[in-house]
């Protein structure tokens, strides 16, 4: 784990791209080396290309960087890691071209999440899925081949919060065979140009987010799922083994997704409420054990107050890399219900990308 | 159904009381005859006693009424019907004294909802539960006894929306044996002095409402349940026959409770999505058939747009007496999921009380 | 004042257009005869062309109307009055073509507001400015010429509220020579596609609305100004005679512009606070005297409670056609300060257009 | 400037008290030594006495401190500095008893702000007013008397933001003789038990804050005013020399007061817009020159974007100790208008208290 790594950002002017830049600008292990945006922005200084909308000022160094097009050329080719905040409609081709050029890409776009050989990673949950990439890199090295490019996908924002408490529970108490999640999602997840309209979200909630329920139901099964014997492909949990039902809502909250979940274990008897709580309290994620810079000190904050977690009060725990869980109690229908809160732009998007990159660095994959 | 009935309001200065007054002031079949509040307000003109916080002006006639104490005396004794917006901590004794004095009370308080012989009524759902009271009144008449006082309870606000679509579904497709409901509840349900604090609800949600989940789970079973053979006591559905699991949240919305529900029918095979929708569309509540003034023209508004119902746009359907249902779809875990929206201060509180009184009048019980 | 008039709506799918349609659909004196939108919408049923976002349902009759292009042809030529909710970037040419075709146009767009012979009208304030058009129509009639087309402009939304209390004050106490107005404007004024972004307005205010301060400062001088001797051109108050300074803010409110204003009369001594209040209370607008359907019963609601007017509680006075004024008090710098509240989509936009048309009808101009 | 100073907090469980504790817990120069609250809380651990509502967790050390009553006894007597977050109804007597006991008190309450010999201090604006206390302490020392107790008052939250840009302007361009300020104030200024009700502030603004306009108008004249020849009493600017007119509004924003101000200089000709901007940019507050830990690096952030400052985006500049100014432009009525944003709980309340204490320490007064 030596040296500072060169980082590139694709989609640098968008809301996810801005978050990547903000996090990288303060990061001891990465330096921003290349920023990519549309041809309209290329050639401009970043401060002139971006409509900076973060609550912290754009760092002075980053202001002056000249934006390039999103092509695997120029300074991008010198990057150890490339973060993609691209929109799905352009991410597919661009990210592929970067991987083909031998680059390591961590993407927030949904395009490759369902590919059999692409890890879909919530870094405080399933960093072991990165092994599939690690093996690929090692194999190439052993064969004396050029280091291959690869892509690792960040999960959907609402999936990240959901799977955080599920992971330790499954590890300790065995499979979950039924799961419901009703989400109350913050608007920052939809970006800001235009994102969610004020007329849609003041004194209102919108009980629908396009594609979200399907992502939540599907991604959970891949993230909690396994890998084939070769260690080359992911094997999601089957629909029969785990029934997942999601209902997704947009609510008037800036940051922080709240999820009301209930779950049933396959094994009988189910654990007690206290055992479930203890399991959540004790969970320490792998990134934390690896000593990663951004890893949360306490992966899951288990709250005992009856009215917590709340997004405004609890979303910043461990700089947004921890997940808060409260109201763990028995469920008349399944086994347990609880409320999960996660910071959608940190552990649910750009922040997850940074922590994935820290894991890659800790494991010498980049 | 002749003549205008004299109405009293208990707890007239509070938020529910204000709503009763507003609705009564525009009502062709009732006139406000007595207003009751705490001893601090008694003797004052209503306009001086109340901090009027409705979006419509306090009607001029009502402004001048002199508030009395909440005792079954004076003008209250001349009332055909008394609406109670009292807080639970005082409602018990006061409402009892009114019933003992032979008055007809419709109460929004929770105190008597679980009494075996007290109807818990959502007027667009189970007006037949009023029969228990009707029988009591008839029996006394037949025996030549004095007309007895009685109390009818309005359901909890979130229960009202939930049971509206359930009723026609159960009537048509048989019992529901599993039900989950995650609510996103408006702040007007908590009143305004102080109600929900702005610091708790701006850029935030609170995943907890004291006692609410229990009410939602329990009241549903009474409202959808039956009556014993004598027609004197209510027999709620048993916990074994119907498992209900609720998760209740407070959200930054002024009026309108949104509920994400899923349900399973006991009978197999379950109906199709289209059959469920058709059943909801066709439902006409009894109050509507009776021609009650406030009864909704369309009891359930079935919405086909993917992102509806929304509280700000849909809560005023049929003046808040109708319920909107959208996103009816299959559920991977139970049979169906859907989103239900109801106006919490109309069909979920004061408005329900008015419609109950209209039914009482239509049936010559008052 | 006989018969129902045929109305057309330009820009029918936009937010102002939707408001025109909603108000017209319930209006006893107008019927919707033609709806115009972009070529993308032309030929479709209105319900398929518009993303209806009003809090009341789209009336069934209007749903089925076939949208046409915004050209002075077809059913538009049969209209007695055409309401324009067009965006400024297309309003100029289209509205001109309608006027040239002999049609009567009432426009919410800003394009012709500053034309010397175009009335800029707040219907509860300066309906006498319509005389310029009336004269034009009469002259043509006398000369035996074809009835000419004309355009009347609705004022900017924040101007409407501001000038309402100024008009009676100027009539009674003489010219105002200094005026400041700091506005807190609702987001509905910016439309909804996309309008104000949720990220810009949740837990935030935006202290800037493009072009708004200039409009507020300039339009006030035209509306409170006079007409030349011929009765053909408007003569705004000069910058020397009346200094106006505006500061405009967007706030997280759905409907209702609040304005904190202060003003100084040119004449000494200035009236007393009580005289100012009495003047505002007594003001009855011309439209009200004419018996116009939508005219407010009480033009200005003078509120004495210290914390009123408030947008959520007071914006619906007289269906949004009245203006509320509160906190009238002496100002240490100028003479008086006060708070003015007006409903920006009613008296500040579509509603004003409807009331202007009612005045045109009452005066037999249409 | 040696050693860590012992700090006490009065009103420790309230919202201002919680802020003091949070800021002190992370402060290198102070340690929390005593916490005072009502008799109801006395004797309890702080974590049990307080309903902690900050966005950061209560630090572990502070959780365990035993709360005492607000009396000048026990650990309070060992404090180098006592911060008061008491409510005005109890602050008067308690704070006096602490001063009488020889303690140094920095208070957020309004009770002593208008006392002739009590400094009213915005630490980035008029730290020189502390000299009056410094002289008092020195005199006592020279006379060999016991070190006297004293009180320094923190200004009202909306005053703090207002005077920040005025100070450098007055220093450079001479007196301001006319000033208007319309405020859009965040709800955190009203605390949280209950503070501003959600029903009052969702989809609403309240154009009134009790006593606020008077404070804003009066405090400005004391803070920008001088000291008598003895250096013992403050001499506010007279009402004739400076006319100040304030209009105060509560808006749906969590933190950050926005103020739309306009001002006129007494001296002619007035400076240019560019000179005003340059003056604001160049201002460096005394606390910053003294090297105080919390002093802002850049006292005033002058923003050139047309739509800034905005509370959500700009309130955290220099940890809330800096003030942001934007939209500096000419005013048709006075000389200039501009928008000022300040963090009401930092530079407008608890944070100001901490920075005042840092100045006291830097000057060896404590």
Tokens of A336: 């347990």
Binned at pLDDT 50, 70 and 90, residue B60 comes out as: confident
CB C150 within 8 A of CB C99: yes
CB B98 within 8 A of CB B76: yes
φ/ψ (deg, to 5) at D84: -115, 120
Are A166 and A134 in the same domain?
Answer: no
User: Which of C55, C312, C313 shows the shortest C-beta gap to B313?
Assistant: C55
pLDDT at site C191: 81
CB C327 within 8 A of CB C273: no
Radius of gyration (C-alpha) of chain B in whole angstroms: 20
Tokens of A308: 């917590």
Domain limits for position C150: 5-156+350-363
* Closest residue in chain A to residue B339, using alpha carbons only: A207
* Closest residue in chain A to residue C195, using alpha carbons only: A197
Domain with B140 in it: what CATH number?
A: 3.40.50.720
Q: Nearest-5° angle of CA D191, CA D197, CA D202?
A: 115
pLDDT at site D2: 61
Q: Cα(D104)–Cα(A224) distance, rounded to whole angstroms?
A: 59
Q: In angstroms, how far is the first alpha carbon of chain A from the final one?
A: 9
CB D83 within 8 A of CB D188: no
Beta bridge partners of D32: D7
Is pLDDT of D36 > 70? yes
Are C264 and C126 in the same domain?
Answer: no
State the burial class of residue C240 (Cβ atoms within 10 Å of its Cβ: 0-12, 13-18, 19+): exposed
Complete DSSP assignment for A55-74: SSPPPHHHHHPBPEESSS-G
Tokens of D10: 């009065």
Q: Cα(A15)–Cα(B96) distance, rounded to whole angstroms?
A: 60
Those chains having 3 or more beta-carbon pairs within 8 angstroms of chain B are A, C, D
Q: Which residues of B touch C199 (CB under 8 A)?
A: none
Q: Cα(A330)–Cα(A327) distance, rounded to whole angstroms?
A: 10
Are C141 and C161 in the same domain?
Answer: no
Question: Of residues D70, D79, D157, D292, which has the active-site annotation?
Answer: D157
Residue located via tokens 């018969």: C3
Are B138 and B213 in the same domain?
Answer: no
CB pair distance less than 8 Å for D244 and C184? no
Is pLDDT of D193 > 60? yes
Tokens of C232: 């053909």
Q: What residues contact C69, with CB distance under 8 A and at least 6 apart?
A: C36, C37, C38, C39, C42
Interface residue of B190, B333, B335 to substitute, partner A, most A CBs within 10 Å: B333
- What is the rounded average pLDDT of the residues B219-241? 96
Q: Which of D333, D262, D265 is nearest to C244 (CA)?
A: D333
Q: Cα(A143)–Cα(C115) distance, rounded to whole angstroms?
A: 79
Are C144 and C21 in the same domain?
Answer: yes
CB pair distance less than 8 Å for A316 and D55? yes
Q: Cα(A329)–Cα(D138) distance, rounded to whole angstroms?
A: 63
Question: Of residues B70, B157, B248, B292, which has the active-site annotation?
Answer: B157
Tokens of D227: 């000291």
Are B110 and B126 in the same domain?
Answer: yes
C-alpha atoms less than 13 angstroms from C-alpha of B264 in its C-beta half-sphere? 15
Domain with A317 in it: what CATH number?
A: 3.30.360.10
CB C319 within 8 A of CB C329: no
Cβ atoms within 10 Å, residue D173: 17
Lowest average pLDDT, out of A293-297, C52-56, D125-129, goes to C52-56
Interface residue of D254, D309, D313 to substitute, partner A, most A CBs within 10 Å: D313
Q: Cα(A78)–Cα(A5) distance, rounded to whole angstroms?
A: 10
Q: Cα(B242)–Cα(B265) distance, rounded to whole angstroms?
A: 10
User: Which of B54, B254, B316 shows the shortest C-beta gap to C55?
Assistant: B316
Complete DSSP assignment for B237-253: PPTTT-EEEEEEEE-S-
CB B32 within 8 A of CB B105: no
pLDDT digits (tens, 9 = 90+) for D335-352: 999 999 999 999 999 999
Question: Of residues B27, B257, B301, B343, which has the active-site annotation?
Answer: B257
Radius of gyration (C-alpha) of chain D in whole angstroms: 20
Which residue spans within B175-318 are E strands per DSSP? 176-185, 226-227, 234-235, 243-250, 257-265, 300-303
CB pair distance less than 8 Å for B198 and D195? yes
Residues of chain C below pLDDT 70: 1-2
- What is the rounded average pLDDT of the residues D21-30? 97
Beta bridge partners of C7: C32, C81
Q: Nearest-5° angle of CA B58, CA C252, CA B339?
A: 80
Is pLDDT of A1 > 70? no
Are A173 and A199 in the same domain?
Answer: yes
pLDDT at site A135: 93
Are A58 and A91 in the same domain?
Answer: yes
Q: State what percent of residues in chain B have pLDDT above 90.
A: 96
Binned at pLDDT 50, 70 and 90, residue B1 comes out as: very low
What's the total number of domains in chain D? 2
Tokens of C101: 């075709």
Element (H, E) at A98: helix A88-100
B67 DSSP assignment: P
> Helices A273-282 & A157-173, crossing angle to 10 degrees?
110
- What is the rounded average pLDDT of the residues A133-137? 94
Complete DSSP assignment for C27-75: -SSEEEEEEEE-TTTTTSBHHHH-----SSPPPHHHHTPBPEESSS-GG
Tokens of D187: 């709800």
Binned at pLDDT 50, 70 and 90, residue A2 comes out as: low
State the burial class of residue C90 (Cβ atoms within 10 Å of its Cβ: 0-12, 13-18, 19+): middle
Interface residue of B199, B209, B312 to substitute, partner D, most D CBs within 10 Å: B199
C257 part of the active site: yes
pLDDT digits (tens, 9 = 90+) for A212-226: 999 999 999 999 999
Are A134 and A188 in the same domain?
Answer: no
Element (H, E) at B272: none
C-alpha atoms less than 13 angstroms from C-alpha of C326 in its C-beta half-sphere? 19
CB D175 within 8 A of CB D240: no
Size of interface B-C (CB pairs under 8 A): 19
CB pair distance less than 8 Å for C254 and B312? yes
B157 part of the active site: yes
pLDDT at site C3: 86
Are B276 and B355 in the same domain?
Answer: no
Are B80 and B100 in the same domain?
Answer: yes
pLDDT at site B2: 61
Are B65 and B85 in the same domain?
Answer: yes
Maximum CA extent, chain D: 63
pLDDT digits (tens, 9 = 90+) for A182-209: 999 999 989 877 799 999 999 999 999 9
Is pLDDT of A253 > 80? yes
CA distances from D153 to B14, D112, D140 (A): 39, 7, 21
> Min CA distance, D271 vs chain A (Å)?
30
CB A187 within 8 A of CB A206: no
Q: Which of C145, C68, C151 is nearest to C110 (CA)?
A: C151
**Pairing between strand D5-10 and D81-84?**
parallel
Q: What residues contact D334, with CB distance under 8 A and at least 6 apart?
A: C245, D178, D179, D180, D262, D263, D264
pLDDT at site B348: 96
pLDDT digits (tens, 9 = 90+) for A308-328: 999 999 999 999 999 999 999
State the burial class of residue D145 (Cβ atoms within 10 Å of its Cβ: 0-12, 13-18, 19+): exposed
Average pLDDT, chain A: 96
CA distances from C8 to C14, C68, C75, C118, D282 (A): 14, 11, 8, 20, 58
Task: Using the CB atoms, write b or e for D10-23: b if 16+ within 10 Å.
Answer: bbbbbbbbbbbbbb
Q: Cα(A12)–Cα(A5) distance, rounded to whole angstroms?
A: 18
Q: In angstroms, how far is the first alpha carbon of chain B from the final one?
A: 9
């Amino acid at each position: 784990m030596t040296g500072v790594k060169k980082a590139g950002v694709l989609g640098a002017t968008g809301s996810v791209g801005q978050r990547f830049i903000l996090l990288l600008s303060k990061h001891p292990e990465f330096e921003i080396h290349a920023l990519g945006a549309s041809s309209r922005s290329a050639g401009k200084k970043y401060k002139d290309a971006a409509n900076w909308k973060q609550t912290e000022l754009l760092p002075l160094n980053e202001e002056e960087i000249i934006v390039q097009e999103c092509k695997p050329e120029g300074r991008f080719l010198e990057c150890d890691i490339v973060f993609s905040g691209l929109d799905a409609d352009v991410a597919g081709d661009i990210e592929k071209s970067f991987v083909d050029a031998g680059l390591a890409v961590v993407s927030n776009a949904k395009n490759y999440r369902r590919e059999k050989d692409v890890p879909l990673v919530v870094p405080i949950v399933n960093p072991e899925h990165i092994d599939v990439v690690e093996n690929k890199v090692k194999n190439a090295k052993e064969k004396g081949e050029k280091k291959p490019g690869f892509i690792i996908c960040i999960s959907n924002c609402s999936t990240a919060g959901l799977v955080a408490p599920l992971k330790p529970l499954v590890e300790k108490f065995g499979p979950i065979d039924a799961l419901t999640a009703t989400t109350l999602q913050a608007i920052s997840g939809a970006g800001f140009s235009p994102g969610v309209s004020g007329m849609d979200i003041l004194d209102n909630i919108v009980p629908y987010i396009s594609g979200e329920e399907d992502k939540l139901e599907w991604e959970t099964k891949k993230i909690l799922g396994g890998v084939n014997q070769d260690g080359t492909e992911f094997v999601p949990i089957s629909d029969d083994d785990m029934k997942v039902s999601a209902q997704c809502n947009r609510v008037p909250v800036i940051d922080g997704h709240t999820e009301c979940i209930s779950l049933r274990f396959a094994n009988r008897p189910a654990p007690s409420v206290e055992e479930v709580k203890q399991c959540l309290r004790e969970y320490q994620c792998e990134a934390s054990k690896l000593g990663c810079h951004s890893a949360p000190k306490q992966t899951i904050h288990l709250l005992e107050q009856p009215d917590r977690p709340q997004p405004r009060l609890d979303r910043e725990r461990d700089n947004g890399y921890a997940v808060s869980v409260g109201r763990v109690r028995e469920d008349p229908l399944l086994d347990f219900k609880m409320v999960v809160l996660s910071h959608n732009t940190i552990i649910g998007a750009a922040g997850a990308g940074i922590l994935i990159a820290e894991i890659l660095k800790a494991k010498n994959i980049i």
